[in-house]
Structures are given as structure tokens and as C-alpha cells.
Amino acid sequence: MRWLAVLLLAVFLPAYAQEEAPLRVLFLGNSYTYFNDLPNMVAKLAAVSPGRKIDAKAVTRGGANLSELWSVTNAVETLRNGEWDVVVLQEQSTLGSNYVEGKWQVNEPGGLLRWAKFWQAEIQRKDAKTVLYLTWGRKARPEFQNALNYAYSEAAEAIGAQIAPAGLAWKRLRELHSNIELFDPDGTHPSPVGTLVNACVFLETLVNRSCTTVPQPPNTVKINEADWKAVVEAAQFAVEQYKAGALNNPLKPEYGTAKTLVPSKETDWSGEWRGSAQIYDGVYQLQLQLLENGKGCQGTVQISHPVTKLRLQYPVAACKVENGFLTFGTNDLRGIIEDYKAVLNEGKLVGTHALRSIDPYRRIFGSFELKKNAEK
């Protein structure tokens, strides 16, 4: 009988040995990850297709960037205390705030680059691999995709990470199948179909098999056969394009900065100045009370918005007039420091506004034009 047991063991043991343990994946992100439970959908697709399975966990926080995931969630503790094969990092959808002349755009990748390196160090200590989750441009801002591609490409190169190119799949579907609704009604988060696209991208990124191996879409997603085929094709196309180098050396976007000012010889700085300013996220009313004293000056700044009724007032700080320029700052109760620079131009006070911040997730530049004693 012993020989029979040995024979049976020899026959069946290889079959057991070939079955890999599930891939342990930790997703770290925000609502782009937890909407429609992306990690669970990825695991379900892997479960119903032949091949290695996926055990997915997640730590998420609405609106969070990688810095906030580090500091105000238990993501670091979860990473350190668990056993992981892959950790997925998802940055805030526009990489923070970037307003130039009141226009909203994708921010520079400074925050993503800085915090991806912090996370990468922790991930390497767990002998895990890092995957960056490339997201998509908003429904009303498809042009955001180019800046997102650039940022994630830079970060992936900096830390030696792989990219899950969900944004490329969305771009293809939006161009070729605009009838497929990828967005939630809010125009930013994914619909269930949008999450399905992302899940197909992750299935191929994580375990190297496409959704062509999935018998049918999850029953939680309402989708017809033609649209399901389009989703599968777009996810395959995105991963293939990424592997072929589609995200190598993308063009660096223009992020915008403060306008250049030319000093004049006019010197009548003192007085009450009123006018409009393209600052923050739109057009505001700006009032400046200014009293010049040699190279120094003092006064107050008032910012208001006629629709939202916002009204802020604070004294100017470090005010000086030098070499044809007026410069001053503000340090209000919000703890926000703003820098103003202006010149006199045919009796008008023309200048720039900038948010001073060491936070790479915040970037604001604007401009203003004021007239002395102008009507409100």
C-alpha cells in the first residue's frame, strides 16, 4: 500500500504545487479608489478567471493626497504590519490645487514625487512592488490627462515603479465610445462602468491577464455585451500602449506663473486703490489702503466676492517701495501668506499675487489692476 500512496502523491502533488498563493495587494488612495469598491472588483475579476487570484485590501480617505494618507490615516501602520506583494499608490486627482489667473489646472508633480519616495522606502522594506494608479481627467477637463500622464511618468521613473494606466483606457473610450458613461453624475468620480475599466486595467497590470479571460462582467455593473467588449479592448490597449512606451518622455505641461512686471518712474503710491483681481479661483474685488513713508509703507488689503459674499481684510506686512516696485505680503488669521508685487502704469496700480507655501500641493498665481479712488 505504501507504493500506492507514493504514486498518488507523485501524481497529485504537482497540481497543488502549481497553484500560486493569492497576490496580496494593498490599495492606498481616496474616493477614486473606494468608489464602487475598486479593490474588491479587481479581486472578483481575478476570482472568476483562470490563474492567480488576488487578495485585495485598502486604506482610503476622501480627497486625500499621498501626504495625508501618510499622516492622517492608518495606511503606514497597515503597510508595516501586513504582508504584501504589491502596494498601489493613488494621488489626489489633480495633484493638489493649482490656480493661475483664476484658471484651474493640474498641479506640478512636486507633491507626488516627494511622497511617492517616502512611500517607496516603506514598500521596499516589505519586499513589495509599487504600482502607481494613473487616473483620468475630469469630464469637463479631458485636457487634464496630458499633465497627469507626465506627473505619473516622472514619479514612476523616480522610484522605479510600474504604472496601472487607467487614464489611458478612459481616454480611448472617451474618444471611440463616447456613449459609454464612465463618470458618476458629479463628473469626476467613476461610474460602475468606469470602475470596471479600472479593474480590467489592474487585472492585467497585477497578474498579467486581460478581461478577455473573464466570462462576464460583475452583476453589480449594468453593461451590454457591445460595451463590455469595448471596455475589455480599451483596458488591453492601455496596458499594451504603456508597455510599448506610450508614457516614456511625455511633454512637460505649462503650469503657469506670475506675469512679468516692468517698473515705471511714477511715484504716487499712497491712497485708496480699488479694482478687480484674477486670484484664487476667479475674479474678486480688491481694495488697498496704502500710505507710503519713504521706502516703507503701511496699509490694509480687503478682498471680497460679490456672489459668495466672502470678505477678508488684513494689514499689509513687509511693505516697501524700491526700484520702481511696490511689494508687500499678508499673514492673515488663516495662516496663509500671500505676496503682492505691483508697479504704477499710467496712474493704475498693476500687479501680481502669489500664494507663498512650502506645501507642494498648493500653487496659486494671479494678477490685479486697481485705480485710485475708483468707484465701487
Return the CA Rg of the chain: 27
- Of 164, 157, 106, give the one whose Cα is nearest residue 133: 164
- The CATH architecture assigned to 271-372 reads Beta Barrel (2.40)
Residue 57: count of CB within 10 angstroms of its CB:
15
Those residues with Cβ within 8 angstroms of residue 66's Cβ, 6 or more apart along the chain or in another chain = 28, 89, 91, 92, 111, 112, 115, 116, 118, 119
Decide which of 2.60.320.10, 3.30.565.10, 3.40.50.1110, 1.10.3720.10 is the CATH code for 20-243.
3.40.50.1110
Cα torsion at 49, 55, 60, 66 (round to 10°)? Answer: -100
- Of 239, 232, 332, 349, give the one whose Cα is nearest residue 286: 349
Domains of the chain, by residue range, sit at 20-243, 271-372
d(CA 235, CA 181): 15
Residue 80 sits at φ, ψ, to 5 deg, of -70, -35
CA distances from 5 to 9, 12, 106 (A): 6, 11, 65
pLDDT at 334: 60
Contact at 8 Å (CB) between 277 and 285? Answer: yes
d(CA 99, CA 280): 6
Those residues with Cβ within 8 angstroms of residue 53's Cβ, 6 or more apart along the chain or in another chain = 22, 23, 43, 46, 47
pLDDT at 4: 46
Q: Locate 87 and state its grid cell.
A: 502596494
pLDDT at 335: 63
Residue with cell 488576488: 54
Q: What is the mean pLDDT of each run of 10 residues along the chain (376 residues)?
A: 46 54 98 98 98 98 98 98 98 96 95 98 98 98 97 98 98 98 98 98 98 96 98 98 96 93 91 95 95 91 92 92 93 75 95 90 95 69
